[in-house]
Each structure stands twice: as structure tokens, then as C-alpha cells.
Structure 1
Amino acid sequence: MPDEGAPSRRASRPAIVAVDDEPAVLAAVARDLRRRFGDRYRILRASSGPEALELLRQTRARGDAVALLVADQRMPGMSGTEYLVEARKLVPDAKRVLLTAYADTEAAIQAINEVALDYYLLKPWDPPEEQLFPVVEDLLTTWEAGAALEAGGVRVVGHRFSRDSHELRDFLARNRVPARWLDVERDAEARELLAVAGVADDRLPTVLLEDGSILERPSVLELAERLGVSGQAAQEHYDLVIVGGGPAGLAAAVYGASEGLRTVMVEREAPGGQAGQSSRIENYLGFPAGLSGSDLARRGTDQARRLGAELLTIQDAVALRAEGSGRIVELSGGATLSANCVLVASGVSYRQLQVPGFDELTGAGVYYGAAITEARACADQEVVVIGGANSAGQAAVHFAGFARRVTMLVRGASLEASMSHYLIEQLGALPNVEVRTDTQAVAATGRDGHLASLRIRGPEGEGDLRADACFVFIGAQPRTDWLDGVVARDDRGFILAGPDVAAGGGWGLSRDPYLLETSVPGVFVAGDVRSRSIKRVASAVGEGSMAVSLVHQYLAEA
């Protein structure tokens, strides 16, 4: 069977590698995978872990991509889990599936943590149309989306420690625009491109588009417009305008569109909001292996669009006003959106650290949020994460896979009061992560235009800590300035809703406000921006879907 066991030169299709020591099972796996995915992927197979590892080395040596690994757990000499541990070193981006018997379920669950297992399948998987194909298709779709980002036709050339370069890279990554980053100081290709294009060093960052055009020092908005990312409203009036594209906003877009409401969602940066920056969300129901915030955003965006919602990105809401039964949202570009109802799901932004040096070095070694675009650039470097909540813990775990050392600076006495137990356990198991409690950064120092060290204060006094990159998670502030004087807010700027509105005496109708309704009838709030909300992805999704039900009630009574 040369088309499977031996490498083929007939195409450069990505590979799916299956390994099982039982010939009948291996043949069945290869047969089913070939029948459904053989037109897009080469199906390679091996009868043992060592044989599969050698096959992976040969495949990678030819420069071919590996999309999926399928391995049986019970193999003599090298178990499926042991094989996946080694295979992950060779093809870290490949999706990983473990084939198990019912008795191996515990080992499969353990493998989720040990090898970042994406899925485990119980044998037999009959019928494959129900038990195998949907799982593999979903994993391959996710892999393809990531591969497209890595091999994209848009090229960005600039300095790594440049705030402007970082903003463009972050915009492209968060909006899932396929693009390649070329560091002018490290990549010979970057210098060659600049020479051919005739671009001077003082015109960086430079973006080379697929149509051959060149943008020198573009703003994010200019790049978005050239790529067609932002979009324009297609209708004059909507049933529902959603401000914010985080989990709450995306959920509302999905439910609103699916239930026949003319729905448009406006997002100032990229779908996914703050959650979209998370390297790994592991406590969201239905995803036992966890998923990245980027993947969650992609899934939610695709689902909302498929159901008929309009999504406008790189546009910010700057004002809200009521005109009779209509609600008008003014956008930063000067356009307006008219609707019967508005859902405010504008979320929160990370609070800035007000100590010497941080403002000057933001984007040049200091980043707010996970800044996943910087992860690979942190290979073998000293990374500092400031903060003690889940977002900080998720970032530390993620960066530990790249950095030489990750140091967490936590102001409090412990992590237990602010971080989930599963994250604390993960951090404790990582040998290159150090957690320093009762410690804070009091200054940042740069060298050659980028971060070099932090001045920290802890139980033993003050000292300097080397830092090649620093990621800050020190709480959040609501994005509600644009609603000042329009809707009632608490003393921290979070929006009051339901009973809190009624208790504050700012409600003028005879009926009580709905649970998520603000002080302006027909304007609702959901997610982190709501006063007293639970800061979790699942609760935001629940509030977003609940808000649509309340919108229906409001429209029925209007």
C-alpha cells in the first residue's frame, strides 16, 4: 500500500497519520478516513509508536504539513499517550485524537492534560457518519483555520518591539486574517522585500497585500478598510443592534438571527472580545479538552453569520440616544444604526498599570492581555505575567510552552482567592513557572527601545528582575464612557439593570424593568459590562441569549 505507508510525491496535501498495532483496526481507521477525507488529505498509517514517529520525521523533513494524529491507546512498547507526547514535539500544531476502549476512559481524560489531547473516541465508532466524521471534520476545520493564518498571503514587515507593528499584528490575528509576520531584524526575507519594494526603514511597519499593493505605516482602520474587514450596515433599521462582540454579544447575535430578528453586531476590535485573547478556556461546558478564545470567537462568528446576523468590526459605538420608539447608536466613523432595541455588551478593558516605564514600553515588551501574537517570539526568553486571576493563569500556562521561564507577580498573599483550582494545579506542575506572591512591579526599564527589566517589590524588599516581555492582567474597567448621562451606572461605571434600576428610582414606566433592561426602556445589557455580573464566559453566553428572549417580550408589548 504505497499510498499510505510510504510517502507519496503526488501531492503536497497535509497528512493524517493513524497508528494502531492491530492490523484490522488500523485498516478500518485508514479506510474510513480515506473515504471521507482522502480528497483533501493524505492518509498515512503505522503499526507502532516508533514507526509512526519515524514517519512523522520523514514527513516533516520533506516540508509537508501534518494536520491530525490518530493513535490507539493500548499498544505494546509505547502506549498511545506516550507516542503523542513525542509526536507533539515533532508536529506541535497537529490535532490529536486517542482511540480508546471503554476501560481506557480514565487514561484518555488524563491525556487531555498530559498531551493537550483534542478528543478521544471510543471503539468501535460505528456508524462513522455519526461517531467519527463530525469529530474529525471539526478538528480539521480548526487546524485549517490556524494553518491559513500561518501561511497567509498578507505580509507584515516591521520591528518586533514596535507599538505600531504590534497593533497591526494583533488586529490581523484577532480578526483571523491570514498573514505572515517578518521581523526586519531577524528575517532575511524581510530585508529583501523592503529592497524590492523600495521601502525605507523609517516607513515601517509595511504591509504587503495579496494584490501586490503596499501600505507604509498604515493605521489599523486603514488596513481594515483595504482588507474589507470592517463592513458597512446593509439595512436602514434593525430589530436589534448589539454593541460588543464578546461571548455575550456573539450569543445574542446567534439567538437573535436564528429567531428571525434583523440583527447587527458592532465590535470595536475583533469578535471574541477579551475572551478572544485567552490562550485556553478549560471550564466551558461541552469542551473537555478546552478551546482557545480565538477558536471560540471563530465558531461563534461563523455561526452568527450563517444564521443571518450582520457583523461590523473595527467600528466603535460613541453615543446612544432614544428617539420615540427608536434607539439610535452613533458609530466612530460617523454612521448611525437605527433599531427597536439595543443590547450593550461592550465588555471591559484591562486596567493600565500606572508605574514608571510601563506606558512608554507598551507594545515594546509590555502588553495588556495575553497578546498571543507574541507567544512564539518569547521562545527561550524571560516572561513576566502580572496578575492573579484566571486570565493571568491561562496566559502563564500558555507562555510556559515557549519561554525559558515565566514569573508571575501576584499582589495578594495567594492564588486561591482569585484563580480556579484547575489552573493553580497546572501552574504548580510546570517546572519553568514561578509564582511570587505579595509582590508587585514598581517600575519598568528599557534598553534599545524595548523592555529589559522590572523593578519589583516583595517580602524581601526591592530588586531587579530580567524581563524580555511582560503581560499585565490587573483587573478591568467597563467600556461605558460613551453612555455617560444616558443609562444609569454604578460608581465603577458598570451598567445597572433590572431590579437595580428600579431600586435606584430612575425607572419611569408603570411596568417593572426586565431583568437585563437598563434605565432606558428597550436598551438591555449583558456580560461583563453589567453591574454585579459573574465574570465567566458561560455566564456571558447565557446573558446574551437571555437578552434576546427579553427583547422579544419588549417588542411584543411595544
Structure 2
Amino acid sequence: PDVLDHLRAGEGRAGDGVGLATTPAAEFYDLVVIGGGPAGLGAAVYGASEGLRTVLVERSATGGQAGQSSRIENYLGFPDGVSGAQLTDRARRQAAKFGAEILTAREVTALEVNGAARVVRFSDGSAVAAHSVILATGVSYRQLDAPGCDDLTGCGVYYGSALTEAPACQGQDVYIVGGANSAGQAAMYLSRGAKSVTLLVRGESLTASMSHYLIQQIEESPNIRVRARTVVEEAHGDGRLERLTLRDVDTGETEQVDAQWMFVFIGAAPLTGWLDGTVLRDERGFILAGPDLSADGRPPAGWELDRPPYHLETSVPGVFVAGDARSESAKRVASAVGEGAMAVTRRPPGPRTGVPQRYAGAA
């Protein structure tokens, strides 16, 4: 993180010294991909493999939330499972092999339309342009709104898998907040060494939000306990998490438990605020695309083309969305990769596509 902060601040432009490229090699590309999670990496692999001049821009490190997942067991082709870091690192190397540029520690702040070009502006004032842009910005973890959590974040309270903290949990009691797949995957991973793992779930059970295979694994794990209808009321500790106050949602009764480790997975918000006024989004900030833009049978406001938006195309022609940032997306690694590939699908040239005829659609 310190290296990335220095690079974002433009200190020395030492990206090559640490294996990170931060400066684009050109001013104009066929395709700019914004975001380095599974959707963005999928788009970069398929775009570059089709011969498109492709650049992927990521504000931190490639991998996104999937890159932090301890183990993904339902991704096609990996029957024994694979860690998110391994999967996304392979995808990054694959994109680079096909010739995609990967820019790290660059924050995108604006997207503009200039005739047939789509201009992507960075926080330092520089910019690149392209025929097409794919938005694969993903989501960020929601923060737990309970007293004490902010002060103890990084000191016993963690958001995401926090694999680097797993060895320190050996033989200790661990609490995980959340009931979706990311929470289940973390529970299974941490249960290998922890004395006990307790899943705190606001809902009635795990069935509404977690895959069946994970529920089965959790039920078969002797040191994993699920506490339904339970929320964290407060986190306590002097410089380090020491205790949690838990509240029963139905009865209102509270209980204090000893806790040194709490990992939080309570959903995520899209990283799309910088697109306000540029592309249409739903009430939660997720990007609308394709049929969702014309649910009433009419094209979106300002749409000037003779054709309707393509399946993953936003309200701006030539700008596409893939992965978790898309409204009503499946929030799964496989679907994100698939959408990244779909957004690059080469289409036959047609009249008034909004981009040069050589590159109808994202390609």
C-alpha cells in the first residue's frame, strides 16, 4: 500500500523499479478497461487476444475482491479449488502475454465523450482516449456501523478475507459477520487453524444468500458455529479488539463475548460515484446497461443512435459495463469474467454504431 500511495502521488514514477507500470505507452487505444478484478481482467485478456490495443487501469492492485478470497471452489476448471490471488495473478499474466498494458496505481476521475473517442481522465490531470471503454470498477466493502469498529479497524477488525492475518488466528476464537459466499469461504479457510469460528448472520439462515455447497461444508465443520438473527452492537478494546457486544435481533437481548478477531462481509457498494452525470445508474449507484436502459421500450434519454444499446452497453454509446458494478449482476467470479469477455465481442460493422465501423460494439 505504501508503494501504491507514493506512485499515485507521482513520487519518482518508480513503477518499473517495483514491477508496476503507471504511465500509458500511448495516448489512444482501441479499448480502455477500468478496473482490475475478474471482469476487467477478462475483458483485457479477450480484447488483447483479438488484437485490440488494450490498456487496463487499476487504482490499487489487480484482483479486486476476488483476489482476496481465500478459496474459490465453484469456478469452472478448478475442481480442487483455487485461491483468488492465484486465479487473478494468472489472469493478469495472461492479459500481459497477449499484449495488454496494465497500469497500476492510477485513479480514474472522469469519463468524457469527444466525437467518436471516449476520453478517460486521471487524478493527476492526464488522460488517454479510446474507441471504446469497459467499466469494470467493481464494488467496495460496506463498513460495519457499530461503535468501536472504526477505531479498531486493522487492529482485530478486518474487512475482506485478510489472508495475511490468518496465521495469527491459530488456536483462537474468530467471528465473521455476514451470510454470503465471501463470508462462507473465509469461515472455511480460517477454521483450519482457529479454535472456533462463529458466523454472525442477521437473517434467519444462510440459505437465502450462500451457495449450497458452502452451507454443506459449514454444517460438516465441527468448529464452525452459525448464530442467526444476531448483529454486532459494539466492539471493545484498548488499541486492539478484545470483546464484542452481540444483540439478538428478535429479543433485543445483548451479550458480551471475548473476541480478538472479527472479519466483516456485509455487502458492498459500487465504485461509480465518479460517473455521476455521465452514465445512467440505478438508485443504489449500480450502472444500468442494455435492456435495463429501455425497460419501457424507448431508448434512454440522449441516445441518438438508430439501434438500441447492446446487451452490456451503458447509456453512452461505446461505453460498456461488466461485473459487479452492473445493475442486477450475479456477483460471481465466473459471471464477471464472462461479462468481461462478452463486452469485447466483435460484431459485424453497421451504420451509426457510435464508434468507427472497424470497432462496432466494444471491439
Tell me which residue corresponds to 2:357.
556
Task: Decide which of 258, 261, 265 is 1:469's aligned counterpart.
Answer: 261
Task: Decide which of 233, 242, 249 is 1:442's aligned counterpart.
Answer: 233
Tell me which residue corresponds to 1:327.
118
Would the aligned equivalents of 2:36 and 2:64 in 1 still touch at CA under 8 Å?
A: yes
> How many pairs are equivalent?
344
Residues 415-447 of structure 1: CA deviation (Å, up to 9, x unaligned) = 111111111111112222111011000111112
Max Rg structure: 1
Task: Decide which of 232, 243, 247 is 1:453's aligned counterpart.
Answer: 243
State the Cα distance separating 1:285 from its structure 2 match: 1.0
Q: Unaligned regions of 5+ residues in structure 2, if any?
A: none
Would the aligned equivalents of 2:7 and 2:22 in 1 still touch at CA under 8 Å?
A: no
Task: Decide which of 321, 332, 354 is 1:536's aligned counterpart.
Answer: 332
Return the alpha-carbon distance in structure 2 between the equivalents of residues 245 and 551 of structure 1.
24
Q: Work out whether 1:297 is the aligned partner of 2:88.
A: yes
| CA 462–446 in structure 1, closer or farther in 2 if over 3 Å, else same | same
Tell me which residue corresponds to 1:232.
23
Tell me which residue corresponds to 2:312.
516
Return the alpha-carbon distance in structure 1 between the equivalents of residues 126 and 315 of structure 2.
25
Which one-letter code corresponds to 2:45 in the other structure? V
Return the alpha-carbon distance in structure 1 between the equivalents of residues 338 and 81 of structure 2.
18
State the Cα distance separating 1:220 from its structure 2 match: 7.5
Q: Work out whether 1:430 is the aligned partner of 2:214.
A: no
The alignment partner of 1:528 has SS state of helix
| CA 420–442 in structure 1, closer or farther in 2 if over 3 Å, else same | same
Return the alpha-carbon distance in structure 2 between the equivalents of residues 366 and 336 of structure 1.
37
Give the number of the structure with larger relative contact order, counting CA–CA contacts within 8 Å between residues 6 or more apart: 2
| CA 450–333 in structure 1, closer or farther in 2 if over 3 Å, else same | farther
The alignment partner of 2:242 has SS state of strand
Would the aligned equivalents of 1:341 and 1:551 in 2 still touch at CA under 8 Å?
A: no
Q: TM-score, normalised by structure 2?
A: 0.90
Return the alpha-carbon distance in structure 2 between the equivalents of residues 493 and 329 of structure 1.
20
Which one-letter code corresponds to 1:465 in the other structure? V
Return the alpha-carbon distance in structure 2 between the equivalents of residues 231 and 376 of structure 1.
33
After superposing the two structures, state which structure 1 stretch, 233-242 or 395-404, moved more.
395-404
Return the alpha-carbon distance in structure 1 between the equivalents of residues 180 and 261 of structure 2.
19
State the Cα distance separating 1:230 from its structure 2 match: 4.2
Residues 352-380 of structure 1: CA deviation (Å, up to 9, x unaligned) = 11111111111111111111111112122
After superposing the two structures, state which structure 1 stretch, 223-232 or 305-314, moved more.
223-232
Q: Work out whether 1:501 is the aligned partner of 2:296.
A: no
| CA 289–552 in structure 1, closer or farther in 2 if over 3 Å, else same | farther
Task: Decide which of 474, 482, 490 is 2:282's aligned counterpart.
Answer: 490
Q: Unaligned regions of 5+ residues in structure 1, if any?
A: 1-166, 173-217
Q: TM-score, normalised by structure 1?
A: 0.59
Tell me which residue corresponds to 1:17.
none
Tell me which residue corresponds to 2:171.
380
Q: How do 1:196-345 residues align onto structure 2 when only pairs under 5 Å count?
A: 221=8, 225=15, 227-345=18-136
Return the alpha-carbon distance in structure 2 between the equivalents of residues 533 and 317 of structure 1.
22
Return the alpha-carbon distance in structure 1 between the equivalents of residues 114 and 276 of structure 2.
17
Tell me which residue corresponds to 2:158.
367
Residues 180-232 of structure 1: CA deviation (Å, up to 9, x unaligned) = xxxxxxxxxxxxxxxxxxxxxxxxxxxxxxxxxxxxxx858579846242431
Would the aligned equivalents of 1:514 and 1:550 in 2 still touch at CA under 8 Å?
A: no
Which one-letter code corresponds to 2:320 in the other structure? F
Bigger fraction of residues in helix: 1
| CA 541–291 in structure 1, closer or farther in 2 if over 3 Å, else same | same
State the Cα distance separating 1:402 from its structure 2 match: 2.2
Would the aligned equivalents of 1:522 and 1:551 in 2 still touch at CA under 8 Å?
A: no
Which one-letter code corresponds to 1:453 in the other structure? R
Return the alpha-carbon distance in structure 2 between the equivalents of residues 263 and 383 of structure 1.
43
Tell me which residue corresponds to 2:342.
546
| CA 423–522 in structure 1, closer or farther in 2 if over 3 Å, else same | same
Return the alpha-carbon distance in structure 1 between the equivalents of residues 128 and 163 of structure 2.
33
Return structure 1 stretches of 4+ with deviation > 6 angstroms.
Answer: none
State the Cα distance separating 1:331 from its structure 2 match: 1.5
Tell me which residue corresponds to 2:212.
421
Return the alpha-carbon distance in structure 1 between the equivalents of residues 316 and 71 of structure 2.
36
Which one-letter code corresponds to 2:27 in the other structure? E
Residues 39-68 of structure 1: CA deviation (Å, up to 9, x unaligned) = xxxxxxxxxxxxxxxxxxxxxxxxxxxxxx
Return the alpha-carbon distance in structure 1 between the equivalents of residues 148 and 346 of structure 2.
47
Return the alpha-carbon distance in structure 2 between the equivalents of residues 456 and 267 of structure 1.
38
Task: Decide which of 142, 164, 172 is 1:351's aligned counterpart.
Answer: 142
Return the alpha-carbon distance in structure 2 between the equivalents of residues 442 and 552 of structure 1.
57
Identity %: 58
- CA RMSD, Structure 1 to Structure 2 (Å): 2.0
Would the aligned equivalents of 2:27 and 2:127 in 1 still touch at CA under 8 Å?
A: no
